[in-house]
Structure 1
Amino acid sequence: SNGQITLLRDENGDDRADVRELVVSGLPTGLHQNDNLKFGADGWLYMGLGSTCDACVEADSRSASLMRFNVDTGESEIIATGLRNPYDLAFHPATGDLFATDNGRDDLGLDSPFEELNHIIVGGDYGWPGCWNEREGSDCTGTQTAVAFFEPHSSANGLDFYSGSQFPADYQNNAFVAIFGTF
C-alpha cells in the first residue's frame, strides 16, 4: 500500500474511479504489507499493519499493530500491538468484537510458531516478537493468547463471520478462516 490509504470515488456512476483522494499517508512499510481494511460500526476504518522484519523491536510503534483511522479528521490510533502480520480482520456480527488473523515469525523452525486467530482487546499486546503459541518465549508477561491456532507457517489470511441464511444455522456467527498453505 506504499504506506497510504487512498479513497477511490466514482462520481459519475460509470463504475470507474474518477477521483483518488489520499486519506492516510506516512504509514510504516517493510517486510510485510499493510493489510486489509474494514470499517467498524463506530465509522472508523480499521487496518492491520505488518512488521518491518521477521523478529525485531520495531522503531515505529505503528508497525506490527492494528490501527484505526477517522477518515474525516485524519485522527488515528493504535488499538493493539504485538501482531507480526495481522493479515485480515472482521467484526463479530452479534457482538461487534474485533478479531484478526496473525501470521507468526519464520525463524523458529518448521514446527513453530502457529498462525493465530486473535480476539482483539483495545490496548492488548499479542506477544510478537517475544511470545508465541500458548505462552512460549521469553516475553509473555501481560500478553493476550490467541483464541485459535493454525498449522505453523500456513498463512492464515482471509477472515469472515457468517451471518447469512443459506447455510446451516450452526454456521451462524462463526468464523471462517482461509489458509494459504505452508512454505
Structure 2
Amino acid sequence: MELLARATALVGGAVALMRRMGSPAHQAVGAQPVIPEARKQGIMTLKMPVAKGWVDGHLPTCAAGLKVNAFATGLDHPRWIEVLPNGDVLIAESKEQPAAPKTLMDHAAQATMRRVKAIGQSANRVTLLRDADGDGTAEIRKVFVENQNQPFGMALVGNRFYLGNTDGIRVFDYTPDATSISGPGDKLVDFKPHGHWTRSLIVSPDGTRIYAGVGSLSNIGDHGMEAEEGRAAIWELDLATGQARIFASGLRNAVGMAWEPATQTLWTVVNERDGLGDETPPDYLTSVRDGGFYGWPYCYWGKTVDDRVPQDPALVAKAITPDYALGGHTASLGLCWMPEGTLPGFGSGMVIGQHGSWNRSKLSGYRLIFVPFADGAPSGPPRDILSGFLSDDEKLAYGRPVGVTIGPDQKSLLMADDVGDVIWRVTGA
C-alpha cells in the first residue's frame, strides 16, 4: 500500500509540475473574481503533502498582534468544535471510512489518502474538553459520546443535544455540566452516507430549527442524479414537528454554516468541483436563500455551464451566483461569525478554516482566514489569521485547518487541526 502511495505521488507530482507552468498567476477571490476558462484535466491533478504534524515546539504562524497556543493535543483526527453554554468544548473526532476499492484508481487514491491521514479507522466519538482554571489549556478530557457513525456537526437546544452523523441526525438528552451522555439517542433524519460525508449543524437564531449540510456523493453526478437525491444541499429540520426538508440545493459540498447577525441571514462555505483547472471554479462563501439553487452539477459561479454534465437548462436558468469567491480548491470547511472586539486588529466578519485541497498544481488553502463584513456582506479582501501549515516546498503538511468557533471567553478563536491532532487557540498577543 505504501509503495502504491509513493508511485501515485510520483505520477501526480509529474502531472502537477507540468500543469504548474500554465497555472493562473492570481487566485479567483472576492465578489467579482476573474475565473479562468475551464481546462479539462483528463488525468486529474493529484498533489497531496505528506502528513507530518507539529514537532519540537513548531507552531502555526500568527498574524501580527496575535498569539497561538495548543488548547488540547493528542486527539484522533479532530474535525469540528461546539462550545456549550457552560464553556465546555466538544470535539468531533472522526474520519472518512472508505468503501472497498473496486479499481486500480480507487486503490491508488485510498493509498494516497491514508498516507496523508485523510481516511482510515474513525474514532467515531465526541470528546469533551474543559478549561476549569481558565488558563487557555484544557486540563479535563472526557468521552462525551461514543460509538457513533462518523460524527461531525453538533448543536445544543435546551437540554437536547443534536449530533450530525454521516447517516443522519440523532438527538440525546443532556444534563447541564455533564461530562458525558448515555443511551443510543433517537434518529430524527436519515441522510445517505459516503462521498462527501460530513454533516455540519447549526441552530436557527430563534432556536426552532436546525440546518444540516449534506454534500454530494461524487464530483459531478458521476453515478447519476438518482444517486444524488437529497444530497448537495442544506436541509432544514423543524424541531417542533420533526419535519425535514431541503432548504437550498445545488451546493456541491456545503460544510460550515454561520449566521450574519445584523440581517440574521444564513451563510455557508462550499467546496466546488474538480477537474477544470487550478482556479476553476473557485470555492466560495455565500448567503443561502430558502429554495435557492446554486448550480451543481450543471453549472458553476452562476450560469457557467459544465459541459461534462448532461444539462438541465431550467435549473441553469435559476442558478444563483455566490457572493464571494475563496479561490480554487481551498477546501474551505470551517466557518464562524466573529464579532468586532474578539481579536485585536480584526473587525467583524467571517472566519474560515481552509483545509487545503489536492486538485491543484500549486497548493492553496492550508490557512485560517478572515473576511471582513459591512452592511451584511463581505467588504474587503481576506486576511490570514493563521498560516504556516505547509512546508515551503509543499511536500509536508504540519497541520490542516478544519472547524473554527469563538472560544468560551469570547476573546479567542478555537480551531481544529486534523493532521496535527490539535485544537489551536488564537488570542491577542
Same fold by TM-score greater than 0.5: yes
Higher normalized helix content (fraction of residues): 2
Q: Note closer, same or farther for the CA distance 1:12–1:65 as it changes in structure 2 (3 Å cut).
A: closer
2:194 counterpart SS class: coil
Once the two structures are superposed, residues 111-161 of structure 1 have per-residue CA deviations (whole angstroms, 9 ceiling, x without a partner) of 322101111011100000111135321553111111111221110111111
Q: Does 2:262 align with 1:86?
A: no
CA distance in 1, matches of 2:249, 2:339: 28
Aligned residue in 2 for 1:121: 289
Q: Does 2:225 align with 1:58?
A: yes
Q: Note closer, same or farther for the CA distance 1:171–1:23 as it changes in structure 2 (3 Å cut).
A: farther
Q: CA deviation at 1:18?
A: 2.2
* Counterpart code for 2:215: G
Q: CA deviation at 1:181?
A: 1.4
Once the two structures are superposed, residues 3-36 of structure 1 have per-residue CA deviations (whole angstroms, 9 ceiling, x without a partner) of 1212233348531112442242421223111421
* Counterpart code for 1:178: G
Alignment of 1:76-155 (within 5 A): 76-133=244-301, 135-137=303-305, 140-155=316-331
* Counterpart code for 1:121: R
Q: Note closer, same or farther for the CA distance 1:12–1:40 as it changes in structure 2 (3 Å cut).
A: closer
In terms of Rg, which structure is larger? 2
Q: Is the 8 A contact 1:91 1:97 kept in 2?
A: yes
Alignment of 1:10-89 (within 5 A): 10-11=174-175, 13-42=177-206, 43-56=208-221, 57-59=224-226, 60-89=228-257
CA distance in 1, matches of 2:166, 2:335: 23
CA distance in 1, matches of 2:258, 2:196: 20
Q: Does 2:168 align with 1:4?
A: yes
1:94 counterpart SS class: coil
* Counterpart code for 2:248: A
* Counterpart code for 1:156: S
Per the normalisation by structure 2, the TM-score is 0.40
Q: Which consecutive residues of structure 1, in runs of 5 or more, have no partner in the other structure? A: none
Runs of 4+ in 1 over 4 A off after TM superposition: none
* Counterpart code for 1:146: P
Q: Does 2:338 align with 1:171?
A: no
1:74 counterpart SS class: coil
Q: Note closer, same or farther for the CA distance 1:167–1:2 as it changes in structure 2 (3 Å cut).
A: closer
Q: Note closer, same or farther for the CA distance 1:169–1:96 as it changes in structure 2 (3 Å cut).
A: farther
Higher RCO (C-alpha 8 Å, min separation 6) = 2
CA distance in 1, matches of 2:283, 2:225: 20
Q: Does 2:182 align with 1:182?
A: no
CA distance in 1, matches of 2:175, 2:346: 41
Q: Is the 8 A contact 1:44 1:71 kept in 2?
A: yes
* Counterpart code for 1:39: V
Q: Note closer, same or farther for the CA distance 1:12–1:181 as it changes in structure 2 (3 Å cut).
A: closer
Q: Is the 8 A contact 2:169 2:187 kept in 1?
A: yes
Aligned residue in 1 for 2:336: 160
1:141 counterpart SS class: helix
CA distance in 2, matches of 1:98, 1:159: 11
CA distance in 1, matches of 2:233, 2:176: 37
Once the two structures are aligned, what percentage of the paired residues are identical? 23
CA distance in 2, matches of 1:15, 1:151: 40
User: RMSD over aligned Cα, in angstroms?
Assistant: 2.2
Mean Cα deviation higher: 82-91 or 106-115: 106-115
* Counterpart code for 2:320: Q
* Counterpart code for 1:35: R
